[in-house]
Amino acid sequence: MSIGPQMETEEDIQIIKDYTLLPVLLDMLARDIDELQIYKDRIVYNHVIFYLKEIEKTIYSELLSLKNRMRKENIKILVTEMNASGIEVEYKVRGYIHHFKMLRSLVKAELMTLLMNLRRRTG
């Protein structure tokens, strides 16, 4: 059974979700790195800051890869709105507009999953 062009696949949704959440994770990492800078004279904190910066590099690489995949698959994010209840995204997949909403608790869980997956990739 083939999927029609208007139907989004699970892979499409995952690409959109990752592309939406990775910038949020980048903001969180930047905030945490800034907070840890006051302890930069301590070796353990330097190690943690170095690790977080490696994760940042991995995220930028992942975002570029996702952007290329989105272009190839004709996927565009039209509107992303963050509010107190979570994140709402309007996007277009192969010409058809779709929406999804992630509640704050789900965003938090997804961010932790993303971070753990990124950690595995950086070794």
Amino acid identity of residue 17, one-letter, is K
Task: Print the SS3 string covering 21-84.
Answer: HHHHHHHHHHHHHHHHHHHCCCHHHHHHHHHHHHHHHHHHHHHHHHHHHHHHHCEEEEEEEEEC
Closest Cα partner for 60 from 123, 121, 106? 121
What's this model's pTM, rounded to 2 decimal places? 0.85
Rounded to an integer, the average pLDDT of 46-67 is 94
Read off the pLDDT of residues 25-39 as tens digits, 9 standing for 90 and up.
999 999 999 999 888
Residue ranges of domains in the chain:
10-116
